[in-house]
Chain A
């Protein structure tokens, strides 16, 4: 890995990839940049509307429930669990990619399976959270929560919450589907026949990106 580059190596001289990657990985990076702009636009829109509003609900009030705990006041505990699960699934993805580098099919399968479980668990948590909020009367166009100062809030808190976390959840869902496809392909030995596990690496890039986006979504909706 740490091999020195010969002085006369012309990376940009044509005839090879200047980044020493095949085109699919390059495309994935550009796609992620594009997708970052999609989320960026959403979050900046959120910020714009929030800052032009007179008040905003308190996340500690909105997100204080935990499954099976009744009316216990546990602000942000559940979302911390969700976030932990998603970040752990990124760790298992790193291990899967690492196993792919070693062409170790069994480990790839094991770590991919854990990543899929993590992604599915996150989606399950999100489903519970949405269902819970919905039961409390929150939905697109409906906001039962009051502002910090107790005044009545506009619906834009829930509008943005469901749209942006929904869009992120859709990305997680696609990621889980992609990971399942990768799992099946690995299981069938497709990558062993190809001699490399590059596809796992590309799926990994996407998965990490989805996790990274969650950090921003989490910060915007739960911490402020």
Chain B
């Protein structure tokens, strides 16, 4: 090869190839430990992330059910709560302190441990090597470590639920001084230390994973798989990894400074503080609580796209496969994801419009924030034009992908309200914000994740999920999500603030008592339906309908050229070569043409 001599590293190319070959040749003995626990197979690691994420989702969801009980039925006691929660719910009523702990942990768990670790961890690990044509990740060892750091972080975070003073309760954003001073609240004591430790482990996990995803996508594509022949899932997961690599370290810096404020006697975030509980004026001077908010949201906003981009990628792919049409505007899709990645770093201060930010600076951030509407709208129109006049197969995966588009539109539109700094004066810290971000990044990302699970379950376990249960799951979740969050827009517009324990004392918010009851009831039903999904998942692993063909969905991409139950190394024999992009559906009278098929002499241009 001519490039061997180019940089004086002939070994570069050879080691790379040798690395590939040794994977499908070796038949080393696998024990239970190396196969299921400390596995270095990307497919098993993906399943570990998925199932850990599911455990977290149940915990996080259950927390929301518990605090919705308080919000929906503030005057009622539920004696069974004391049975399961003990001193958290003395007399069957969750105390205010524990209500805040539940809200905080619900946010932390779902944002980081489910929708970041669970979503990226699962699908980046599972799909990247399969869809670009690689035997495994660039570094299977680091990949394994990425999961175990995630697991370690999970354990530490869970352990904070069981300490005497309770888990952190100052909100998932962990703003100081609540997070910096142990005396500020019970949850700010050891619970907060465990919270920071868990998050630091999570950042390490995310870094190890992200480095792997990026270098695998860049370096290990099979022959013919140019960047623009990759399925959109790959682009999405690639940009997600880049976002994580560049934004999580800033959060880590913020946490290190926070740790010093907590234990080192520093005042990075602290100035002029009087603590009422201990009747003490603190000597700290010169710090700035706003500084933490800048550091936090420099991660916090890209984090939204770390959650959303994988869902976009998964949905794009699933919509195209099930519409039997090429994705509309492939390059526009890639370009808009790139634009979102860049803009993600430039809009963080829109979370801080009312913190005393200079209004002129605010207007710059308004402009940059509203700019995100452009690539977002391009993506939405491309999804819609992809299904335009298509012969749609309404598989459960497809339904969830379409549900994702619906939710992304509904939630995205309210983002335009909130991105405006003048409207934000009225809307900030109200239920309008809750409704907005739950629809646009919470539920919609969940829908992308469900779509992915339903679509790739046959590849993961060689069986299908049960369709009837899937349809029940979809319709109840979609209707439920709108019934929960739609009314919150009204509450928010009426000025109902978030993070209150009990609204029944306020004349202005009493009117929503019945609405809150309604929301809580629907939330419980939706939660129950997720348990149905879990049942379907675990039941189908063992008893689901077996997959009998290699390519059950008739998809073009490489993962469907592997055996039904691929081993470590994915392909038996050579890795296939790629000759075309991933979206040749309904072309030249054929239903689909796999990426591995060479371009025919009479083939039309796409």
Contact = CB atoms under 8 A, between A and B. Distances in A.
B268 A159 contact: yes
Size category of the binding interface on chain B? 35 or more
Contacts of A10: 226
B601 interface: no
Nearest to A201: B9
A154 B413 CA distance: 46
Best-surrounded residue of A14, A33, A49 (most CB of chain B within 10 A): A14
Interface string A1-37: 1010110011011111111111110110011011101
Contact of A38 (B16, B218, B226, B253): B253
B356 to A, nearest CB: 12
A36 B223 CA distance: 33
B223 A41 contact: no
A125 B42 CA distance: 45
B160 interface: no
A3 B5 contact: yes
Best-surrounded residue of A40, A160, A163 (most CB of chain B within 10 A): A163
B589 interface: no
Interface in A91-136: 101
A159 B291 contact: no
B286 A156 contact: yes
B285 A155 contact: yes
Contacts of B139: 23-24, 27
Size category of the binding interface on chain A? 35 or more
Best-surrounded residue of A1, A10, A22 (most CB of chain B within 10 A): A22
B157 interface: no
B281 interface: no
Interface string B233-277: 000000000000111111011101100100011111000000000
A12 to B, nearest CB: 5
B585 interface: no
B245 A15 contact: no
B266 A1 contact: no
A196 B18 CA distance: 15
B3 interface: yes
Interface stretch (B173-181, B206-214, B308-316): B206-214
Interface in B4-39: 5-9, 11-13, 15-16
A80 interface: no
Interface in A27-67: 27, 30-31, 33-35, 37-42, 45, 48-49, 52-53
A18 B219 CA distance: 7
Contacts of A9: 2-3
B295 interface: yes
A152 B291 CA distance: 23
Given A31-B207, A38-B253, A155-B286, A12 B215 contact: no
A159 B295 contact: no
B134 to A, nearest CB: 10
B204 to A, nearest CB: 11
A115 to B, nearest CB: 22
B219 A42 contact: no
A186 B23 CA distance: 27
A38 B3 contact: no
20 contacts: A1-B7, A5-B6, A14-B223, A14-B224, A14-B226, A15-B577, A17-B12, A17-B218, A20-B3, A20-B6, A24-B138, A26-B219, A34-B211, A34-B245, A41-B295, A48-B294, A141-B264, A155-B265, A156-B268, A196-B9
Given A30-B215, A49-B287, A159-B264, 15 more contacts: A3-B2, A14-B222, A14-B229, A16-B3, A20-B9, A22-B16, A22-B219, A26-B214, A27-B138, A27-B139, A30-B214, A37-B250, A38-B250, A45-B268, A156-B287
